[in-house]
A and B are shown apart, each in its own frame.
Chain A
């Protein structure tokens, strides 16, 4: 009896020892700053750095949420997400369907299509920035030369950076879709084919429903990715650009509030908003879409 209790307590001690390294990191660098945001949001920073911040209650929250720059930022963020996620998912699905066949050379196509996943945001921005440059880029040659240049053009700058994000997301989207296709039960497809299902019927009645958990996963991951993109904007546009107010997505706003305006209070308010949006979008996706998702075994 006693030895059992001792053994149990030893197991507890071991378990805590194993869990503690990760727990400490999370406590210090995830939970503490997350909670701290709610406190920072109540304090306003003076316009000159170095002076102490003072308590203003919820007034900073309300003034931020009603400011034009915040509303503009919110609009840009949603426009960006709505461009990147559907196009990226659809493109990845098409490529995955085309490459999902036992034919010669498919392995090479698969490596090519998944390759954009390794490109960092900085690499993608530099590569596309050159192509979109009004002097050295391809646009004048294609007869497209908006004035002002595309990356300083209030109308076109956001779609332009969205193109870069789509290109980057295409690799991940392709990989997700390919894995989904590979895990589809062959027997079901074969049975449908033997039943004489035509290609479009196969696609909409069999492939898409069977693939719906994968598409759903891609949607959740893609949305989170799109909300967290801002490197392209930082490298190619920046706060001095004429198109800045139209490309200032929420996360970039957090960054500029923090390191350009030196205003942690504002950054905290924006961080909370970003978190709430991300959380609600994810929950909504689970609430309304996952019910339509077809899981093979139940």
Chain B
């Protein structure tokens, strides 16, 4: 029987019972979904706290009866996680800052200024979205090596200091700023830089925050480039590559590897909780017109 509004008014009891059942089913489905999403991570936490003798036990333990908290400091020290996390933090900070600066500047030019070849240059920027970074790695590796940047922070970060997506996103945000505001600012004697700094950037803050979150995730989770461009010493090796190493070197100590994994993901989980809104906005820019 369809639960339409009309019937609801004539038969309130059956409707309300049906609505309750629907709500219960909805929660059941949501909880099942949450279980599927979280179970692997939960098992990683459990496994990270097991005693070595329990790890290969069948049936597998689903709760750490005797939690071995020391696996966390062990992973931190044994896997050089402190250094890797520091490297990842530096690499991410450089890339996020660089992308924000270059995107804001270029987006301002495209939104508020007129210049020869504007359309052609903008089209070139959009073209970069069609060329995946992976198809450029071979030559980039040669370029970076010949610049003497192999296994350095410039090598790790400079190729990523600009983003076509970011320029596009911020240009759209700047274009939403009313023209009158620009003219009023001009009459008040604002130059371009002052208008950018004190009007355009504050007004486009949500889009800028969204780009920041997006750049952060992209930079922190990079895998291919750090794998190619970092050497075997730990000088600039990032935590993603460190995890691979941790898994390779300590196969008999799966609990320690997993402890390391949990440490590596913790900063991002915090970021997700704090920036949930911006994250949704940044990842869906373009999804809704």
Interface residues of A (CB under 8 A from B): 11-12, 14-16, 18-19, 21-23, 25-26, 28-34, 36-37, 40, 94-95, 98-99, 101, 103, 105, 109-123, 126-131, 133, 135-138, 140-141, 167, 170-172, 175-176, 178-180, 183, 193-194, 196, 198-199, 213-214, 217-218, 224, 227-228, 230-231, 234-235, 251, 254-255, 258-259, 264, 267-268, 271-272, 274-275, 278-279, 282, 295-296
| A235/B43 in contact, CB under 8 A | no
Chain A binding site: helix, strand, loop or mixed by DSSP?
helix
Residue in A118, A133, A268, A278 whose CB lies within 8 Å of B269 = A118
Given A127-B40, A136-B56, A180-B287, does the pair A175, B138 have CB atoms closer than 8 Å?
no
Known: A114-B276, A255-B224, A258-B138. A98 touches B113 (CB 8 A): no
Query: Among A25, A26, A176, A180, which residue has the most Cβ atoms of chain B within 10 A?
Result: A26
Please provide the 4 A-B residue pairs with the shortest distance between their CB atoms, ordered closest to farther: A33-B139, A179-B284, A33-B136, A120-B221
Contacts A/B (CB < 8 Å), 13 sampled: A18-B108, A19-B110, A21-B162, A22-B106, A26-B128, A114-B272, A118-B269, A179-B283, A196-B6, A213-B289, A214-B287, A259-B227, A259-B228
Q: Are B258 and A127 in contact (CB under 8 A)?
A: yes
Q: Are B138 and A279 in contact (CB under 8 A)?
A: no
Are B159 and A29 touching (Cβ within 8 A)?
yes
Residue of B nearest to A279 (CB): B130
A179 CA / B281 CA spacing, docked (Å): 8
B187: chain A residues within 8 A (beta carbon): none
Q: Which of A23, A119, A126, A179 has the most CB of B within 10 A?
A: A126
Cβ-neighbour of B271 out of A118, A180, A228 (below 8 A): A118
Q: How large is the interface on B (under 10, 10 to 19, 20 to 34, 35 or more residues)?
A: 35 or more
Contact status B105-A254, CB under 8 Å: no
| Chain A residues with CB under 8 A of B59 | 141
Whole-angstrom distance between the Cβ of B108 and the nearest chain A Cβ: 6
The residue that B272 contacts in the complex, of A95, A118, A213, A224, with Cβ under 8 A, is A118
Contact A29 B158 (CB under 8 A): yes
The answer, among A235, A258, A295, for a CB contact under 8 Å with B244, is A235
List of A residues within 8 angstroms of B33 by Cβ: 94-95, 98, 109, 113
A29 to chain B, nearest CB (A): 4
| Contact status of A34 and B243, CB under 8 A, knowing A26-B124, A194-B5 | no
CB of B134 within 8 Å of the partner chain:
yes
Q: Does the CB pair A214–B159 fall under 8 Å?
A: no
Q: Mark B156-178, 1 if CB is under 8 A from A, else 0.
A: 00110110100100000000000
Beyond the given pairs A117-B279, A127-B258, 4 more chain A to chain B contacts, judged by CB atoms under 8 angstroms and listed by A's residue number, are: A21-B106, A30-B136, A254-B135, A264-B142
A234–B226 CA distance with the chains assembled, in angstroms:
13
Considering the complex, give the chain A residue whose CB is closest to the CB of B240: A122
In Å, the complex CA distance between A294 and B10 comes to 36
B101→A122 contact, CB < 8 A: no
Q: What residues of B have a CB within 8 angstroms of the CB of A36 in the complex?
A: 138-139
B residues in contact with A196, CB < 8 Å: 2, 4-6
Q: Indicate whether A22 sits within 8 Å of B105 (C-beta atoms), given known contacts A122-B240, A130-B258, A135-B56.
A: yes
Instruction: Name A127's contact: one of B4, B41, B103, B109 (CB within 8 Å).
Output: B41
A118-B269, A129-B247, A179-B287 as given contacts; A22 in contact with B102, CB under 8 Å: yes
Residues of A near B279 (CB, < 8 A) are 114, 117, 175
B43 touches A275 (CB 8 A): no
Cβ–Cβ contact B247 & A235, under 8 A: yes
Q: Is the CB of A120 within 8 A of B30?
A: no
Minimum Cβ distance to chain B for residue A30 (Å): 5
Cβ A179 vs Cβ B288 within 8 A: yes
Contacts of B114 in A (CB 8 A): 11, 15
Q: Contacts A22-B167, A128-B40: A15 and B109 contacting too (C-beta < 8 A)? A: yes
A36 and B135 CA atoms in complex are apart in Å by: 10
User: What's the nearest-Cβ distance from chain B to residue A232, in Å?
Assistant: 10
B266 CB, nearest partner CB in chain A, Å: 10
When distances are taken between beta carbons in the complex, the residues of chain B under 8 Å from A264 are 138, 142
User: Chain B contacts of A110 at CB under 8 A?
Assistant: 276
Contacts of A131 in B (CB 8 A): 40, 43
Residues of B234-289 contacting chain A, CB below 8 A = 239-241, 243-244, 246-247, 254, 257-258, 261, 264-265, 268-269, 271-273, 276, 279-281, 283-284, 286-289
Evaluate contact between B224 and A30: CB separation under 8 angstroms. Answer: no
Check A111–B287 contact: CB distance below 8 A.
no
CB distance from B110 to the nearest CB of A (A): 8
Q: Which residue of B lies closest to A126 (CB)?
A: B261
B192 at the A/B interface (Cβ < 8 Å)?
Answer: yes
CA distance A214 to B285 in the complex (A): 11
* Chain A residue nearest to B3 in the complex (CB): A199
Q: Is the CB of A126 within 8 A of B221?
A: no
Q: Is B184 an interface residue (CB 8 A)?
A: no
Q: Which residues of A contact B220 (CB under 8 A)?
A: 120
How long is the Cα–Cα vector from A16 to B192 in the complex, in angstroms? 14
Which of these, B118, B161, B167, B261, contacts A123 with CB under 8 Å? B261
